[in-house]
Chain A
Amino acid sequence: MNGPVTATTHRTTRTAGPLPAAGRPGFGWLLLSEWTKLRSVSRWTVALLTAPVLIILVGLLSAASSQAGNPDSTVSGPDGTWVQDRFHFVHRPLTGDGSVTTRVASTRLELSVPQQDGGDGRTQDVERTVWSKAGLMVKDGLRPGSRYAAVMVTPGHGVRLQSNFTTDIAGPAVGAPTWLRLTRAGSTISAFQSSDGVSWTPAGTVTVPDLPQTVEVGPFVASPAGILMGERQFGTVQFERYPTTTRAVFERPTLEPARATGAASGEPQDGWRDDEVNDEAGQSGPPLPAGARPDKTPQAGPPAAEWAGDRLTLVGVGDIAPRTKSEDVIKLGLTGAYAGLMALVAVAVLFVTTEYRRGMLRTTFTASPRRGRVLVAKAMVVGAVTFVIGLVAGVAALLITLPITRDNGFLPPVYPDWSLIDPTVLRAIVGTAGVLAAIAVFSLALGTVLRRAAGAVAIVIVLIILPQLLAGALPTAAGQWLMRLTPPAGFSVQQTVPHYEQVPRICIPENGCVYDQPWAGFAVVCGYALVTMAVALWLLRRRDA
């Protein structure tokens, strides 16, 4: 074997000065030659084509075998978002511009926590119901899901201005007692907070388009369900949602301009009407299939509003917020990426280890003595090829699976009716292709470092699969960190279910709750690729070929 000698010769030629033009191929030629190597091995072509087939088949199987559950309610907000809209509302009509003011004297959360045996802490309360809401609302009638804007005081998040379910603006970080005011001018709603009812601090402004001339305004109370999470055991976590009620006391709710007809007897409650808005009461969505029942029966409404002079006591249950489902139709359709990836990993590893095995690398380095450029060219070719394969396979998989999942009951408003050109869907597709490319480059670099195909392939595949399987067996926090720090974190780019800061959610890693930011996980997997590439480039210069 004259490997070391050959390698030394190359080093000499590299440092000895420029070669004749024919011996010094440009980078474009290097890319072309690596591309020729990749496409001319028929086995690799077969493996590369297996990847999209696996991606599509596994996606098809996942989609065909998934059924959507029956939702509690199918009410949607103004923008089509699936929402919960249940609260206790004392209101009167306001025509044109005006404002409503009240003092929230106190709010008290009345939990109905499930019985715990001796309070031994077997369960932990993940959501301390810090989002119970008491405040003032401007709403387009009483129909659940209609347009609104509301200023509210919450136990854990201060004063907030929210509108149309998805908008949430933080105001002053104070709790009850406090004065609140909501002002309407056309479609602009402004919120104010005050500690004394005299000097007012702005708490935000929102625009609610298409608000009618006459709206219902007044105090409201809502109290979202709490969530109890059991400790993980044997791969399962138990969750329990328990209903809560919030009792709020409002003082001197006043409307300006006051309507002349309402104040006939001079009583403070004159003109205020008491209603519970409840989206779960009347199912307005499509009829349920035969034999199906809603997930739970609607609870009885809260007691009626009580007036004592100008003090109003209001008890509320429910929430005014977007609902979310953990099932993600786009993620489901792209599940196959895990399987297709393994075929791509094998090719990426072989792309370099085969050259070592056959001694071909010495020929390659003779033709192109600058070793780093060869590896970079290989990485670019492998990355580009896997990216294109991932892109094509992702589009095809979604084209096939989206109609199937729709047939299986994944329908709006609970599951958005995605189109492939929606930016969120495009991000999922392009991101998935990017993850495939990054993992392929990582595999190539690891193959260069180890120079052995079996070890490199096994390490990459185990790194991809292991967290997915092991996360369920470890405590939730450990499982989540495992998912965050390993390459499959990149697949969090597939998530299309939005997260709202104002909505508590159940977060377990194997359900895809890894990163809130879709691209954060992608950065992790790119980190793997870059660091391993750097090590590979360094070793390539130092070691004999």
Chain B
Amino acid sequence: MSTVYAIRAEWTKLRTVVSTPWLLFTAVAVTAGISAMVTNAASNRTCPVPSPCLDDLPKLSLTGAQYGQALVVVLAVLVMSEEYGTRSIGVSLMAVPRRWRLYLSKAAVLTGVVVVIGSLGVLGSLLFARQVLPGTAFSAANGYQGLSLRDEPTLRAVYGTVLYLALVALLSYGVAAMLRDTAGSVATMLILLYVAPILTAVVTDPRWLTRIERVSPMIAGLKIQATTALDSPTIGPWQGLGVLALWAAGALLAGLLSLQLRDA
């Protein structure tokens, strides 16, 4: 009973902050917008038709998630760190004295919101690709299937990406609960996510590339978007998302412990 109230309270807190709607709108816009930009720029002119290139169209059309996640990180961090920044954590804990209950309520509201905006961004990206790709070289006449949610790997890429964003949010939330500082948490999270792609761009040794791709929350997690070359020796789609889930679970647990064991 009181968990329901706690969740409702958290939802009220989140939706009544002025910056939240802006953040949510920007997250959807960035995800869909960058996806659209990349989809629009795609070309298959170097590949014979039908293509032996790794033309993973669903993955391509969901590129924007790599950038939209930065806003999801900010949102998730703010949900926790602003309580400390504005010192409202004391009031919140007075209202909901069971700290784990407060912690899980916040996490539940955050997950719900991220699933909704993630779905909007992802479906927007996919709709754009559905509209645009048949008019390019990736047309049915050239042997490309239109993107469809009835295609099982495409469907997995779509809801997998939403899951990915939700897990990134939970990971950031856990980190914010540990660090209790907005800028520090945002910086930590963005370093954690984005350092790996920079490393893979400079590293040439294949063994190290594999290692980095297997442990990086961003690279491993986004393997869920793959619809071709599924027998990749690096890591499969679900194993990849599993890596991110482990990161998220670890951070959530550490955040909870930090909340339970330290003074607020």
* Residues of A near any B CB (own CB < 8 A): 43, 47, 54, 58, 61-62, 64-67, 69, 117, 121-123, 230-234, 238, 327, 331-332, 335, 338-339, 342-343, 345-346, 349-350, 353, 357, 452-458, 461-462, 465-466, 468-470, 473-475, 478, 510
User: Are A232 and B43 in contact, with the CB atoms below 8 A?
Assistant: yes
User: Are A457 and B198 in contact, with the CB atoms below 8 A?
Assistant: no
Contacts of A455 in B (CB 8 A): 19, 74
User: Are B70 and A461 in contact, with the CB atoms below 8 A?
Assistant: yes
9 closest cross-chain pairs (CB), A and B: A65-B208, A230-B46, A346-B187, A453-B183, A65-B205, A465-B194, A65-B203, A461-B190, A346-B183
User: Are B66 and A469 in contact, with the CB atoms below 8 A?
Assistant: yes
User: Are B181 and A43 in contact, with the CB atoms below 8 A?
Assistant: yes
Contacts of B56 in A (CB 8 A): 234
- Is residue B44 contacting chain A, with contact meaning CB distance below 8 A? yes
Scan residues 10-47 of chain B and give those whose CB is less than 8 A from a CB of chain A: 19, 34, 37-38, 41-47
Contacts of A474 in B (CB 8 A): 37-38, 41
Which residue on chain B has the smallest CB distance to residue A57? Answer: B195
Contacts of A65 in B (CB 8 A): 203-205, 207-209
User: Are A67 and B204 in contact, with the CB atoms below 8 A?
Assistant: yes
Selected from B71, B201, B203, B208, the residue in CB contact (under 8 A) with A458 is B71
Contacts of B204 in A (CB 8 A): 65-67, 69, 327
- Tally inter-chain residue pairs, CB-CB below 8 A: 139
What would 16 A/B residue contacts be, using CB atoms closer than 8 Å? A43-B181, A43-B184, A61-B199, A62-B202, A66-B202, A121-B45, A234-B56, A327-B204, A338-B195, A346-B186, A350-B183, A455-B74, A457-B183, A458-B74, A461-B187, A465-B197
Contacts of A468 in B (CB 8 A): 197-198, 201
Contacts of A461 in B (CB 8 A): 70, 186-187, 190, 194
- Is residue B105 contacting chain A, with contact meaning CB distance below 8 A? no
**A456 vs B182: C-alpha distance in the bound complex, in angstroms?**
11
Expressed in whole angstroms, the minimum distance between the Cβ of A285 and any Cβ of chain B is: 20
User: Are A62 and B199 in contact, with the CB atoms below 8 A?
Assistant: yes
Which residue on chain B has the smallest CB distance to residue A338? Answer: B198
Known: A123-B46, A475-B41. A458 touches B202 (CB 8 A): no
* Residues of B near any A CB (own CB < 8 A): 19, 34, 37-38, 41-48, 53-56, 60, 63, 66-67, 70-71, 73-74, 77-78, 81, 85, 181-184, 186-187, 190-191, 194-195, 197-199, 201-205, 207-209
Which residue on chain B has the smallest CB distance to residue A408? Answer: B205
User: Are A234 and B60 in contact, with the CB atoms below 8 A?
Assistant: yes
Selected from A234, A335, A510, the residue in CB contact (under 8 A) with B53 is A234
Contacts of A456 in B (CB 8 A): 183
**A510 vs B198: C-alpha distance in the bound complex, in angstroms?**
10
Q: A350-B181, A465-B190 are in contact. List 18 more A-B contacts (CB 8 A).
A: A47-B187, A61-B203, A66-B204, A67-B205, A123-B46, A234-B53, A342-B187, A343-B187, A453-B183, A454-B182, A458-B71, A458-B186, A461-B70, A461-B187, A468-B197, A473-B41, A474-B37, A474-B38
User: Are B186 and A122 in contact, with the CB atoms below 8 A?
Assistant: no
Expressed in whole angstroms, the minimum distance between the Cβ of B25 and any Cβ of chain A is: 14
Contacts of B42 in A (CB 8 A): 233-234
**A354 vs B62: C-alpha distance in the bound complex, in angstroms?**
37
Selected from B46, B53, B67, B208, the residue in CB contact (under 8 A) with A462 is B67
Expressed in whole angstroms, the minimum distance between the Cβ of B42 and any Cβ of chain A is: 7
**A345 vs B191: C-alpha distance in the bound complex, in angstroms?**
11
**A86 vs B74: C-alpha distance in the bound complex, in angstroms?**
57
Residue with the greatest number of chain B CB neighbours at <10 A, chosen from A353, A452, A478:
A452
Which residue on chain B has the smallest CB distance to residue A468? Answer: B198
Selected from A327, A349, A473, the residue in CB contact (under 8 A) with B183 is A349
